[in-house]
Chain A
Amino acid sequence: MPVTGSADFGADDYAAALNASNAQARPLSLHLRLPLRHDGDVRVDRGKGMDPFEVDLARLDREMVLVRRCLAPGRRLEALHWSGSLPPWLSLSRMSELVDRLASRFPFDPGRQRDFTVELDPRATDILTLRHLEALGFNRLKLIVRLPAAGHLDTLTRLQSRIEPLLDETVRMGWHSLNLVLVVPTPTPAQETVAPLAALLTMTPPRISLRTEHHWQEGESALPPALLARVDERLVEAGYRALGRGSYARQGAALEDALAQARRERARDRLGLGTGAVSRLPEAVACNACAPRDYAAALDAGRLATASGHWRHIGHLGAGAT
């Protein structure tokens, strides 16, 4: 659900909520939203002789330091979620660098309850990238797929040929889950969605989610009710069960895993890093600036990039309370 809280909620409030979260000291779930900038901004930094990756990493590191400062030292990271699809300039060695930086600021929990999810575009991902991400600790994969129109058989076949090897690899290597996130252009007649969906179902992915073009990064589907009903019907018929609006898991081990992961995630404090990232703490929900320029300006000025949010309990007086 999008955070539509008050713009009065700012960086100090978020810092106060982070401090307050130490009382329960729940495990941490870090959601990193990439990329941190628009493509055009890369040229700006390059023009100034700066490596855009280094600039982004320095900003992200500053954000991590500011967040970490508010958290008790013993709090560990149980879940990591890289969302927004990895930018093409994020090479394998830079992915390693990013994970190392995260691990140095937020010690990873060594236990078996680890849920490390990465979102990838199957058109830009190969098996070697997947194996590298596995070596970095990732064990859950989301493939973001723009659903082609029913008539575009070639596109669908090409997509399937990209998805299938990745799906096989996750099964072979024992990744805990694969979620096929289908981005549906709207408005689209129900049949235009259900026909290609049926073709993708032949690959029997453990999880499927359907999102609309403008809301694909959010947790819940914004599909029109009539379309959602058709999708529900088709997926239930294929042996899937709904986990929430537009999210499904295959009955059996995949469903049990999805429910167990959701239970674990509810018991964690969610920290959002990056542009538009959402943090969910026992006391408050906070959202970072969505515009890369605002996000960068806040961090360059040495403060958290919180742009909006709200306290979860009526009567909370916020950071300024005495």
Chain B
Amino acid sequence: MPDTAAGRRRSLLHETRCRTCSLSSLCLPLALEFEDIDQFDAIIRRRPPLKKGESLFRQDSPFTSVYAVRSGSLKQITSEGGGTEQLTNFYLPSELVGLDGIDESTYPGSVIALETTTVCEIPFDRLDALSERLPELRTQLYRSMSKEMRDDRRMMRLLSRKTADQRLATFFASLSDRFRRRGYSPYSFRLSMSRADIGNYLGLAVETVSRILGRFQQQGLVAVSGREVNILDLDALARLAEEEGCR
């Protein structure tokens, strides 16, 4: 391999394997036997990192692959007639992007990197064929889809019944849980998304998000400095997230 920057980058991309990936215990290879992991690894396309603001794919483009987030984070934006854009999901490391495109063979929303992000591309036809031979892989795929459905139901409940305070509490409690599952601190993390993004996702104005963040700080629930979040009372935040309707 030539000793150039591009060559070194290609080399690094190829060096990242499922066997050595720290997220393999959370990702699709989770249930695979050691020797089967290599078969899975062989269908994966490593892609160069996405820069902040770069699209992984655009809304309505043909569905070809699902993507596992290896590092960084992304947001999904769905545009409807009239030009309004709704932020419909955030994706963190080990989460699968694009599963919602299987049904209609197009991606229902654009997915954009919130920071420098690396993903593993898994061509769906090859994943489908491999999962015929590896039932554990198929089971894990079903689990991922089921989790996505469960998360969507939770989001529907949040958007239909919860007050602004409860929405933001749910958001922080959920982020904390997602970081904990990935082996990171559930109490201290950095938000890659802007307050406007959080507001759009939760159905709140950015002013409302700022207002409630200020209140959470006064109540000693969180400490926020720029995009750095410290959760000071996770139990209280979780209790607030579980409430429904006006106080």
Contact = CB atoms under 8 A, between A and B. Distances in A.
Contacts of B88: none
- Specify which of B164, B210, B212 lies most central, judged by the most chain A CB atoms within 10 Å of its CB: B164
Q: How large is the interface on B (under 10, 10 to 19, 20 to 34, 35 or more residues)?
A: 10 to 19
A149 B87 CA distance: 41
B207 interface: yes
A310 to B, nearest CB: 38
A135 B208 contact: yes
Most chain B beta-carbon contacts within 10 A, residue among A91, A129, A174? A174
B246 A91 contact: no
B204 interface: yes
B245 A131 contact: no
Given A132-B211, A139-B246, A127 B164 contact: no
A24 interface: no
A128 B199 CA distance: 10
A3 interface: no
Given A131-B164, A134-B163, A135-B164, A174 B211 contact: no
A128 B163 contact: no
B207 A96 contact: yes
Contacts, number: 52
Given A96-B211, A173-B246, A174-B245, A132 B203 contact: no
A93 interface: yes
B95 interface: no
Interface in B213-245: 244-245
B207 A92 contact: yes
The dominant DSSP class at the A interface is helix
A53 interface: no
Contacts of A132: 164, 204-205, 207-208, 211
Nearest to A135: B164
A128 B246 contact: no
A248 B160 CA distance: 28
Interface in B142-177: 160-161, 163-165
A285 B161 CA distance: 42
B208 A173 contact: no
B246 to A, nearest CB: 4
Interface of A: 91-93, 96, 112, 127-129, 131-132, 134-136, 139, 172-176
Given A128-B208, A132-B207, A173-B163, 7 more contacts: A127-B203, A131-B203, A132-B204, A135-B212, A172-B160, A173-B245, A173-B246
18 contacts: A91-B207, A92-B207, A112-B247, A128-B205, A131-B164, A131-B203, A131-B205, A131-B208, A132-B164, A132-B211, A134-B164, A136-B211, A139-B246, A173-B163, A174-B245, A174-B246, A175-B246, A176-B246
